[in-house]
């Protein structure tokens, strides 16, 4: 077994080490720089770019147009691209744009992919590249673009002088490596009217820099233009000052103001108005002269629409004769349609949506195994709208809570833990009732007290079951249907017309209540609504230098 594993490992290593790993590489980077009499320089870059097995559209070339002197002052070069061709003189498609401090060239065809070796010859004219001193003039130029992800096998740069420049008056230095490097892994060769430097290989992120000094007065003086970044102009400073001031104010409000404001907001407008004390009451609250439905009552009492409210409404709708509840086996209910409700103007909007969503055009329906989330979401939204329309809330309580929960989520995301905690805690208490809403909620709570606190048996209601059936839906929305049924356990109740049990002859209030409670849980599981509840290192000096100084440089890549 060990020998087999060892053999597999050895085979894997052999295949890995002997497999050819293909990556992009620049085979040659040749830069021909001609210093003109008018002070401009003509640059001709020949880039032999090998995509190998990688498919691309072409290359990108970033040419810096801003450089910095030893005093940290910025100057702007004028770069004019004249042509981009291949080795046969055929013009490439290309586009240019200013990106930060670079002139960005995108060379190639977006509708065509290429691979293997391709040659790109870029010609451009630069104004402001030369530096003028008291005893000489100088070209300090990064003659290759930096390739961050791959190497340059051979780099060469040749500077051609105007006629009349004496070779003995020319001095040349070269540097290689990343920006700031003082390595000189390069060779210099000066000939009549030109000087050349070459580097055998530049590793990832390395470049070749050439510094050439020549006799003063050989060319016209063409200084680069001083450059002031937008943020350093007087109007830029004003604009950025305004922006930072606004951001500071917003940060103060966000991290300090809001965590303090929310508790005061709740104290001023989030608390319910005082209401008159209500004695124990056995009638539901009212709105506009009509008794509230169980769903409205339950939603008003706890300021939340939940499945108990909707199921309590179903019990009352069955009592009104729209359908019959049939218990086929223990805890397994189905609803059988009895009367049409489409034209009934007495029904509330949410009640019609509840019936339509439940039956969905059929005459019978079951709860088990059904996904009622979409239908119940409509009912929930309509019920919230109804209690606002009733005049019990100024705004939708669920929308109010959602706003503060969303605020808590954003605060948590931005690291504002104090605001997240405050918004989350107060979200539940922010929905505020109107004076009428507080009064009717008091009546609803008194009804709940009546359903749970009376000790005597209501034998006088047994003859017509009026009290039991009338208040059963309200007991369901309050979650006290078991307590309410227990008060009738010793009273012989007849089976209601809106309910058919397993035993047609007998009706037990406690058993029925337990079955209802189980069914509410099933209904909650199947119909729970789903909510979807922002410098260049350089020097205009005659002494010394380093890779990355002066002008030129930039980067090369593919796309």
Segment 298-326, tens digit of pLDDT: 999 999 999 889 989 999 999 999 999 88
Q: Which two tokens stand for residue 267?
A: 């104290």
Buried b (16+ CB within 10 A) or exposed e, 18-56: eeeeeebbbebbbbbbbbbeebbbebbbbbbbbbeeeeb
Distance, CA of 36 to CA of 418 (rounded, Å):
66
Q: pLDDT value at position 7?
A: 53
Average pLDDT along the chain: 83
Q: pLDDT value at position 536?
A: 34
Q: pLDDT value at position 232?
A: 79
Structure-token match 């309410």, residue found: 484
Q: Is 275 exposed, middle or buried (0-12, 13-18, 19+ CB in 10 A)?
A: middle
Q: pLDDT value at position 99?
A: 87
Torsion 475-480-484-489 (CA) sign: positive
In terms of C-beta distances under 8 Å and separation of at least 24 residues, what long-range contacts does 87-91 make, across chains too?
Answer: 87/46, 87/119, 87/121
Asked whether residue 381 carries a pLDDT value surpassing 90, the answer given is: yes
Higher-confidence residue of 159 and 22: namely: 159
Asked whether residue 480 carries a pLDDT value surpassing 60, the answer given is: yes
- CA-CA-CA-CA dihedral for 395, 398, 401, 405, to nearest 10: -140
Could you tell me what percentage of the chain is helix, strand and coil, using 3-state DSSP and rounding each to the nearest 5? 35, 25, 40
Q: pLDDT value at position 23?
A: 74
Distance, CA of 399 to CA of 422 (rounded, Å):
18
Average pLDDT over residues 53-79: 87
Q: pLDDT value at position 533?
A: 38
Distance, CA of 240 to CA of 244 (rounded, Å):
6
Q: Checking phi first, is residue 385 left (phi over 0); if not, alpha (psi -120 to 50) or beta? A: alpha
Distance, CA of 69 to CA of 550 (rounded, Å):
8
Nearest one of 131, 144, 108 to 33, comparing CA atoms: 144
Asked whether residue 73 carries a pLDDT value surpassing 60, the answer given is: yes
Asked whether residue 405 carries a pLDDT value surpassing 50, the answer given is: yes
- Choose the most confident range, by mean pLDDT, from 84-98, 171-185, 269-283, 539-553: 84-98
Average pLDDT over residues 262-273: 90
How large is the greatest C-alpha to C-alpha distance in the chain, in angstroms?
128
Asked whether residue 346 carries a pLDDT value surpassing 70, the answer given is: yes
pLDDT band at 525 (very low <50, low <70, confident <90, very high): low
Q: pLDDT value at position 385?
A: 94
Cβ atoms < 10 Å from Cβ of 429: 16
Distance, CA of 423 to CA of 409 (rounded, Å):
9
The full length of the chain comes to 559
Residues of the chain with CATH 2.60.40: 20-227+542-558
Residue ranges of E strands in 356-512 = 364-366, 499-500
pLDDT digits (tens, 9 = 90+) for 113-125: 999 999 999 999 9
Asked whether residue 282 carries a pLDDT value surpassing 90, the answer given is: no
Asked whether residue 549 carries a pLDDT value surpassing 80, the answer given is: no
Buried b (16+ CB within 10 A) or exposed e, 102-123: bbbbbbbeeeeebeeebebbbe
Torsion 358-362-367-373 (CA) sign: negative
Buried b (16+ CB within 10 A) or exposed e, 300-323: bbbbbbbbbbbbbbbbbbbbbebb
Nearest one of 219, 198, 175 to 41, comparing CA atoms: 219
Nearest one of 315, 247, 301, 350 to 476, comparing CA atoms: 315
Distance, CA of 133 to CA of 106 (rounded, Å):
36
- Classify residue 257 by its DSSP letter: I
CB 90 within 8 A of CB 83: no
Which helix (H) or strand (E) segment is 261 a member of? helix 258-265
pLDDT band at 274 (very low <50, low <70, confident <90, very high): confident
In this structure, of 293-307, 416-430, 457-471, the range with the lowest mean pLDDT score is 457-471
Q: pLDDT value at position 531?
A: 45
Q: pLDDT value at position 123?
A: 95
Average pLDDT over residues 445-471: 71
Q: pLDDT value at position 537?
A: 35
Q: Checking phi first, is residue 553 left (phi over 0); if not, alpha (psi -120 to 50) or beta? A: left
Nearest one of 105, 95, 93, 91 to 145, comparing CA atoms: 105
Nearest one of 515, 514, 538 to 211, comparing CA atoms: 538
Nearest one of 399, 375, 313 to 530, comparing CA atoms: 375
Interacting residues of 499 by C-beta distance below 8 A, sequence separation 6+: 318, 324, 325, 326, 327, 507, 512
pLDDT digits (tens, 9 = 90+) for 530-539: 444 333 333 3
Structure-token match 């709860």, residue found: 367
Please tell me the number of Cα atoms within 13 Å of 206 on its side-chain side. Answer: 23
Asked whether residue 22 carries a pLDDT value surpassing 80, the answer given is: no
Q: pLDDT value at position 541?
A: 46
Q: Which two tokens stand for residue 469?
A: 């059936």
pLDDT digits (tens, 9 = 90+) for 156-198: 999 999 888 877 888 999 998 888 888 888 999 988 889 999 9
Nearest one of 411, 433, 434 to 422, comparing CA atoms: 411
Residue ranges of E strands in 261-322 = 286-287, 290-291
CB 496 within 8 A of CB 344: no
Fold (topology level) of 20-227+542-558 = Immunoglobulin-like (2.60.40)
- Choose the most confident range, by mean pLDDT, from 21-25, 44-48, 508-512, 522-526: 44-48
Distance, CA of 302 to CA of 392 (rounded, Å):
12
Q: Over pLDDT 70: what percentage of the chain?
A: 84
Nearest one of 505, 481, 475, 479 to 493, comparing CA atoms: 505
Average pLDDT over residues 40-48: 94
pLDDT digits (tens, 9 = 90+) for 125-150: 999 889 888 888 999 998 887 766 77
């Amino acid at each position: 077994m060990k020998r087999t594993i060892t053999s597999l490992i050895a085979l894997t290593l052999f295949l890995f080490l002997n497999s050819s790993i293909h990556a992009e590489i620049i085979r040659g980077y040749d830069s021909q720089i001609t210093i003109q009499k008018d002070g401009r320089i003509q640059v001709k870059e020949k880039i032999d770019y090998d995509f190998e097995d990688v498919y691309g559209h072409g290359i990108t070339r970033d040419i810096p147009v801003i450089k910095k002197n030893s005093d940290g002052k910025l100057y702007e070069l004028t770069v004019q691209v004249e042509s981009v061709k291949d080795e046969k003189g055929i013009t490439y498609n290309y586009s240019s744009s200013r990106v930060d401090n670079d002139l960005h060239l995108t060379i190639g065809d977006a509708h065509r992919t290429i691979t293997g070796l391709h040659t790109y010859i870029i010609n451009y004219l630069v104004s402001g590249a030369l530096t003028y001193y008291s005893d000489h003039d100088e070209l300090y130029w990064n003659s290759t673009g930096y390739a961050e992800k791959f190497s340059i096998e051979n780099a060469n740069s040749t500077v051609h002088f105007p006629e009349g420049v004496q070779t003995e008056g020319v001095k040349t230095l070269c540097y290689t490596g990343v920006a700031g490097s003082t390595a000189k892994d390069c060779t210099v060769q000066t000939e009549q009217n030109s000087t050349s430097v070459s580097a055998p290989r530049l590793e990832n992120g390395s470049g070749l820099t050439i510094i050439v000094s020549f006799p003063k007065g050989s060319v016209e003086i063409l200084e680069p233009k001083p450059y002031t970044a937008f943020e350093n102009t007087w109007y830029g400073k004003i604009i950025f000052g305004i922006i930072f001031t606004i951001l500071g104010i917003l940060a103060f409000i966000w991290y300090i103001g809001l965590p303090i404001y929310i508790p005061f907001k709740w104290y001023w407008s989030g608390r319910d108005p005082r209401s008159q004390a209500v004695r124990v009451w056995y009638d539901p609250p009212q709105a506009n002269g009509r008794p509230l439905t169980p769903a409205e009552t339950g939603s008003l009492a706890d300021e939340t629409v939940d499945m108990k409210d909707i199921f309590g409404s179903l019990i009352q709708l069955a009592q009104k004769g729209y359908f019959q509840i049939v218990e086929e086996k223990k805890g397994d209910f189905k609803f059988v349609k009895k009367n049409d409700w489409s034209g009934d103007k007495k029904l509330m909007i949410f009640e019609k949506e509840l019936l339509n969503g439940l039956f969905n055009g059929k005459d019978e329906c079951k709860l088990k195994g059904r996904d009622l989330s979409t239908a119940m979401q409509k009912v929930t939204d309509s019920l919230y709208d109804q209690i606002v329309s009733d005049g019990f809330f100024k705004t939708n309580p669920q929308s109010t809570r959602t706003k503060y929960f969303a605020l808590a989520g954003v605060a948590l995301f931005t690291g504002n833990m104090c605001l997240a905690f405050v918004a989350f805690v107060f979200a539940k208490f922010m929905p505020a009732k109107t004076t009428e809403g507080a009064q009717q909620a008091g009546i609803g709570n008194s009804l709940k007290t009546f359903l749970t606190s009376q000790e005597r048996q209501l034998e006088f209601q047994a003859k017509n079951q009026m009290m039991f059936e009338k208040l059963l839906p309200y007991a369901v929305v309050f979650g006290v249907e078991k307590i309410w049924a227990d008060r009738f356990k010793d009273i012989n109740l007849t089976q209601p017309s809106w309910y058919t049990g397993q035993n047609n002859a007998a009706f037990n209030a406690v058993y029925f209540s337990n079955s209802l409670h189980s069914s509410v849980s099933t209904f909650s599981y199947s119909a729970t609504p789903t909510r979807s509840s922002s410098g260049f290192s350089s020097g205009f000096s005659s002494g010394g230098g380093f890779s990355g100084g002066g002008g030129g440089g930039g980067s090369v890549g593919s796309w």
